[in-house]
Chains A and B, each alone.
Chain A
Amino acid sequence: MFRNTKTSFKIGGLVGIIILLLGITAMFGVFQMSKVSNEVIKISEQYTPLYEIVSDIRFQKSNQEVSLEKIIRLAKTDNMEELEKTKEDFWLSGRAIDSNIERAKNIVNVGMDMPISGKSGKEFDILYQKLSNIDRIYNQYENLVGGIFFELDNDLLLKQIQITENQLEFELDSSLTSLSILADESTSQIEDNEKDSLTGQIVIITSVGAIAATLGFFISQINNDLKKEVNLKTIELKTANEKLKELDKMKDEFIGIASHELKSPIQPILGFAELAKSGDIDQKEAWDGVLELANKLQDLANAVLDVTRIENNRLELQIEKIPINDIILEITKSQKISLKKPIIIRENLDENIAVEVDRVRISQVFRNLLNNAIKFTLKGTITIETHVYQDENKIQVRVLDTGLGIPKEILPRIFEKFVTKGLKHEEQSGTGLGLFLCKGIIEAHGGKISAQNNFDCGATFEFTIPVLNKGQIQNPPELSTN
């Protein structure tokens, strides 16, 4: 679940990054375009009127030159009226020139204050310089002309006027040429800007495209991973489902067999009661039989409860330190007393070390193994062996018999529930749960149990448990369903 969420986050994140990059590109493009078009407007707004104003100055200057020539010529005649009118024309043009210079300066001032990138900013400074020169030279010119009006035959003054005129001419031409060049340059600069912007956008779009393609590749990889994850989870779920079904079936089977086993003693108990009542058997025989069957029922009920505890990992162990040989000898002693078969029980025991175990449970295991050995041995020897492995902190207990041995077909499943049921006669039958419980108890102690047939005859059961449990007492591992 967590991994799936993580993957969908990855996909969402990548898609988000792509959209973000595309958005940034689009915004950058729009910003560049608007910036370029603003510059175009601003610069074209400045250069065009400047060019017109300077042209007008030049035009007015030409008019003044014509007027001055006329004034000099008229001065030699007596046509005073015409002379005064021409002088007035001269000064009118002069005022137009002054006004134009002022306007031009104002425009250039505005241009200088504008935050225009590139060369244009510096060019406006140069233009202002030129206009100041024109202003200065023109003032000189006006002063000289003002002087000549009183001494029209002063050749020196005329020569100076001529020089000033030429200077002014030069400055005006130079300004017009500069303006023309600047207009061309600004156009080409705008074009360059547009090209740069376009190139930038192409680079960004290509980069974003490449990133998107890469991300797409990764997304498809992630998608594949996701598919694999889903498939894997589906298989896991199927397996878990099948296992659950199998466990459910096994549980049903266990309940079926257990309830059958619990029901079985009822028939002979009823029989004893019926026969005793009718006087067909004596009371003692009936009570003995009922008692034996009741004990069997109790054993079975206890075994079923233990199975449930083991399967639910709820087997509680009361650990205490007990000499292992004491447990073994106590059980073998009582078995020897009640033994009705020609069997010798022999103990071959190692050092009597104290082990940390649940006395009741380990006694239950050992008693079960010894009872099984007696049950399946008609005559011969049963040997109990112990081996202490101090270095490995473990002790091995073996029960060897010279009996019938374990049928091959059930040996691999000998520690499963009810496996031994139905394969033997009544005098050999138990609950069918004893070995299953032995395995559960030994594994709960952190040990191992196994069974094998001997080479000659009989079988050997052995279990190994830790001497000191060192906190390794554990719940029995999940019991095999095989």
Chain B
Amino acid sequence: MDVLVAEDNLFTIQQYKRILEKNGCKVTVAYDGEECMQKFNEAYLTLNPDSLESGPFDVVLIDNNMPKKSGAEVVKEILERCPKQRIIFASAYNISSILNAPGVLKESVEILQKPFSLNTMICKIQTRR
């Protein structure tokens, strides 16, 4: 699986990378919102026209609280370009307040409430909805 991970905590992102690679994933990392969009766009350019909608990654795992551009903004931009891109949104904030705020996240976005077990994350990523 091809996974893009955006997370500003250095320890956390290293842990994600390690466990994902252990489970056979190809991992691209970004340390802030802008870098995440940059990595996403780079991958998007390599896509063949048939799979533009579903996006360049199998999963994009995005933390909400990131420098330069928030996770919610990144999600919005990605879905505008690739409406079928699978996204897992991770946040330590109260998830219900994010879900209840109209127009912040689309229903298609999956949610992971921090803190979570790395195994839970792997299971979530590997489980196709």
Contact = CB atoms under 8 A, between A and B. Distances in A.
A427 B9 contact: no
Contacts, number: 66
Contact of B32 (A275, A292, A425): A425
23 contacts: A260-B65, A264-B9, A264-B65, A266-B92, A268-B11, A268-B12, A270-B116, A270-B118, A271-B11, A271-B15, A271-B118, A274-B118, A274-B119, A275-B15, A275-B18, A280-B18, A280-B19, A289-B11, A422-B67, A422-B70, A423-B67, A425-B32, A425-B67
A272 interface: yes
Contacts of B11: 268, 271-272, 289, 292-293
Nearest to B97: A256
B114 A263 contact: yes
B8 A425 contact: yes
Interface residues of A, number: 24
B65 A267 contact: no
Contact of A426 (B8, B19, B114, B118): B8
Interface string B21-47: 010000000011000000000000000
Interface of B: 8-12, 15, 18-19, 22, 31-32, 65-68, 70, 92-93, 114-119
A422 B65 contact: yes
B92 A260 contact: yes
A281 B9 contact: no
Nearest to A267: B115
Task: Pick the 7 closest A-B CB pairs, nearest first.
Answer: A271-B15, A268-B11, A267-B115, A266-B115, A263-B92, A268-B12, A426-B10
B115 A263 contact: yes
A289 B14 CA distance: 11
Contact of B117 (A264, A268, A274): A274
B69 to A, nearest CB: 10
A470 interface: no
Contact of A280 (B9, B22, B66, B68): B22
A424 interface: yes
Nearest to A260: B92
Nearest to B69: A422
A424 B67 contact: yes
Contacts of A270: 115-118
A427 B68 contact: no
A422 B19 CA distance: 26
Interface in A282-312: 289, 292-293
Contacts of B8: 425-426, 429
Contacts of A426: 8-10, 31
Nearest to A271: B15
A275 B92 contact: no
A236 to B, nearest CB: 34
A89 to B, nearest CB: 135
B9 to A, nearest CB: 6
B66 A268 contact: no
A260 B8 CA distance: 14
Given A275-B19, A425-B67, 13 more contacts: A263-B114, A264-B65, A264-B114, A267-B115, A268-B9, A268-B12, A270-B116, A280-B18, A280-B19, A422-B65, A423-B68, A426-B31, A429-B67
